[in-house]
Structures are given as structure tokens and as C-alpha cells.
Structure 1
Amino acid sequence: MKKLINSADSVVADALAGMAAAHPGELEVDLDNRLVYRATPKEQGKVAIISGGGSGHEPLHGGFVGTGMLDAACAGEVFTSPVPDQIVAATTAVDRGAGVLHIVKNYTGDVMNFEMAAEIVDMESGIQVATVVTNDDVAVEDSLYTAGRRGVGVTVLVEKIAGAAAEEGQSLEEVARIAAAVNDAGRSMGMALTSCTVPANGKPSFDLPEEEMEIGIGIHGEPGRHREPIAPASQIAARLVEPILAELPAGDGRGVIALLNGMGGTPLLELYLMYDEVARLLADAGVVVERRLVGNYITSLDMAGCSLTLVRADDEMLRLWDAPVSTPGLRWGI
């Protein structure tokens, strides 16, 4: 294993310290609780939003803290849920008097710990908490880490669109409603050319022969739906597009927001090439792409591969998507 780290035991804390050093005036980092906050909190009377999960998926979630997205993010150890105490600390710190929305990926540990934290917050401070769980992965119904479908790429879009709704002063009920609507309108599918290597393990999470690829992988290095010989990018794109379109909500004249996401070890040269193939397939299927995003947004350490997320977007979603955002991982309009 070759990694740019000091120690596998300190990699998360060291990375968070680096985030603070790289974004002074934008982010504040609580190293004791492993939390990332906005350096300047939003105005009183606005809904706050937090999310979190295991580290190793950067820029998710800490890289999406800032104006127009998250108010705080909780960083667990690599591929490990944050604990309730972290989530309680973040929730109480960011509340601006209008309640807090928790955006939670559907993994057993994440769901359990966020639920427990919400109960503690209610008992100790009375802060109103709403929760939206993302579960957009069409690859598998249940996995090693979930009951039901995994929360993957749509999480980025939920955080952006809900963040914009909160920024403009919508109520907790409305922010939670739009977050749930984005999740319900979204579907994702991923693939991998390699496994990933967790620093504490020092070896790939699963063995994948040079001539094979994994279709339907998760973001924790778990194997996917099936394994098959490596194929040209055009065929790989079809492996992602077809199962998503089979389950994507009906269009009713609406187009989609498309996220072609890198898993951490794939260069942009290949991601743009893959997006071109995806765009061709969507055009052939009569699907209009209203907005698109290409790059590394929800990764799996050093895994080579990509995922595709499509969200059927109504006018409200598109307006909120276009709203200004200023975070380390996503920035426009400011």
C-alpha cells in the first residue's frame, strides 16, 4: 500500500486539519468532535442542514459545507458512521431557531446513529429535527451495509437543492419536502475497474482480476451486482444508463439533472469521455439533460470507476439547483 499519510490511525484528523488550513475564513473544524462547520453561520431564523458519514468519500460531506449547501458535516472514521455524540454536537451548534434537517445515506449505522442523535437533541434541547434518508442505488435491494437500497450519488443533489431552499428562508417542513422529492426522483448506478484500499487494512477490499470489471458497486468498496469482462466505454455507459432508465420516474415532460461521478481513481479525461457516451444514450432514449455535473463528488478512496445519477427535475428543483453555492467542493453564482 502506498498512501500519502502519516499514520492510518490519524488519517481522518490529519485530513480535517488540512481542510481547515486550506479554507481559512470559509470552514471551521472541530478536531475533537471531527466536525466541519461554516466559518460564518447563516442568519437566525433559517433552517440549518447537516449530513455526515464515513470518511473516504471526499468531497462528500465536509467539502459541501458552505453557503447554499450544508451548515455542518460529521466525519466518521474511514467508511464508518459518525457516532451520535458528533451528530448531537453538530445539530445543536448550527441551529438558528428554525430547526435542523439531517440528510442521511441509507446505511444501517448512519441511519441508527442519526436517529439516536435526533432523539437526544429533542430530549435535551427541544430543537426540531427532520430527517431525509437517501436510497437511490438501483444496483441492489439489500447489501452488506443496508436494509433497502443504498444512498449514493443523489445525496449530493439533495444537499445542494435542499441547501438552496434553506438559504432562501423556506421552513423546515418545506426544506424536508424538497429534499425527499429529489431523493424520490433520483436513481443511481455505479461500476468499478479496481477495488479501493482502506488505510487501516492495507490491501484492496476485494480482488478484481485485471480483465474484469464490477457492475453495481457500492461506495464502501463492497462488490456489486455482477462481474463481467472489461468492455469499451460505450458498453459500460449502457450498463449504467439502462437500469437507471428502467426505474426512473416518468418524465411528464421533465428533463433530468445528470451527475457523472468519479469514484476517486479515474481521471477527468475518462470521466468526460464516459459522459459523452451517457449523453448519447440519453438523447437516443428521448431524455433531455437540463443540467449536468462531471467530476469526483462522492468517491470511494482510490477506486477506479464511475457512477451515474439521474434526477427527474421539476422547475423548482432546477431553480434551486441554479441558486448560488459556495463550498470547497461545489461553487457557482457567487
Structure 2
Amino acid sequence: MEATWRWAPVTAIAPIAWGTTYYVTHEYLPASHPLYGAVFRALPAGLLLLLLTRKLPRGSWWWRSLVLGTLNMSVFFALIYLAAQLLPSSVASTIMATSPMVMMLLAWGLVAERPAVTHLIGAGVGVAGVALTVLTGAEAVNGWGVLASVSAMVLSSVGFILAKRWGKGADVLPSTAWQLTAGGLVLLPVAILAEGAPPAVDAPAIGAYAYVSVVATALAFTAWFAGLRRLPAGTVGLIGLLNPVTGVVVGTLVAAETLTPVQVGGLALTFAGILLGRPVTRKRPPAAGVSARRSAPDHAAGIR
């Protein structure tokens, strides 16, 4: 279990990278093209990973890639893009922070992974910490933005658990490439029909698209799915709380926002929740034969 927990820092790359996308999307990307925003995020990332892996899906992975790509990538990215434009980042982040609870319940039903008590307590503490950190209550909330954020949270939670269930027998990098490519291809004709020509972009927007696609998507999703393979869903969900926390930290450092003492306390609670979800290492007593061999004289050493 201790070796498994070492994947937690790798998994944390994903929510930290995702937490930066709220600011990048709001500040640098065109608000009127959420579908193209999702396409430009998913498809280049998928093609990049596909070029690195040089593997095509086989058997059931053709339709699995389509399902997971739609849930985890195309629809999810479009809804997140829309939520980032319609909601304050604090509100959008807080809604997404409820995903640990949803992931735990779905994992219980879909992969027979019963949540530990510490996971449930950690999720409650972590979500409370996120609420203290990011909820300001000073801005009006757009109902369509809330609906987009809630839908993104539910769909991605379903997709992540299905990826965990179906992931056996497929390497992480190729399966991530297939999902991203499928998600981008599914959404491309929809974007053309709904939004017409692609948006005109300047140099900062091009850089923002590149960052979101390569770092916050190709790298982040590879790390996330690697963690889903090796960690309990409840633990991965708790690590995901770093997403909104990162959003607040980026806002503080880049946008010169100030953290109040209550927000600092919220950050502490969030990290406490993540630590509560840490797998417990149980040391098994050595077998009698092993113990006897270890205590017996080393005759081979005497021969030497």
C-alpha cells in the first residue's frame, strides 16, 4: 500500500494543472466559442499522445474510447469552458469540489470499491475547506453556469469511474490518447455547425490554447488516469480537491487577490481532508517460514 501511495504526487499533477485553467480560460480565451475551446483542448492533446504511443485501439476499446472521450473530454471540456465564462471561479471550483463524494458512491456501485470511513470523513472535511477557501458570496450566481458546472462534475465522475473499471488490460498513455482524440473528433462537427468558423485568436490566446492542451490536458489526464489505476477512487477524488485550491492560489499570486484568515483556514482544512484519505499502511507479520529462515544462521556466508 505504501508503494501505491507514492502515485499520489503524480496524480496531484492533474488537479493542480486543472486549477490553473479557470484563470487562463477567463483571461485569454474567447468567451463566445466554448465548443471550439473544447476541441482545441482535446484534439491536439490526443494527437500528440497518439504520435508518442503509435498504438490504435483494439476490440472493445474502439467504442470504449468513444464513450469515455465523450464523457471525460468533449462534453466535459465544453461545460467547463462555459462554466468558467459564466461563473466566478470560486463558485465553479466549489461545485467541482463535490466530485469526491460522487466518485466514491459511483465507485461503490460500479467497481465494488466500498469507501472507507476515513475517505468519507476526509471528503467532508475537504469540501468544507474548499467552501471556506473559495466561496465569497459577494457575486451573483448565473443559473446556467451552475447547471453547466454540476453537469460537468457528474459526467466526469461517471467517466472517471468507467475508465477505472475498463482500464485493466490497456496502457495508460494509449488509452488516454484514444479518449482525447475521440472526444475531439466527436465535438469538431458540432462546433462547426453551432459556432461556424473558428474564432480569431491573438498570440496570447494561442499560447493559452497550447498550455491548456499540452499541460492541463495531455500531461494532466495521463497522470490522473495513472492514479486511478493504482489508488482507491476515494483517494483520487480527495486529491482532486487540489483543483479549486490551485485556482485560489493562482488568483492570489497572478491576479493579486488577497487571502483572508478564513481562506487560509480553508486551505488547511482541504489539505487535512486529503491526508485523511491517505491509504493506511498495514504491516503484515512475516510468515513462520520466512521468520525462521531470517533467524537461522547463514551457512552460505560461512562457506564464503
Class of the TM-score when normalised by the shorter of the 2 chains: under 0.3
Structure number with the bigger relative contact order (C-alpha 8 A, sep ≥ 6) is 2
Larger strand share, 1 or 2: 1
TM-score (norm 2): 0.27
Larger helix share, 1 or 2: 2
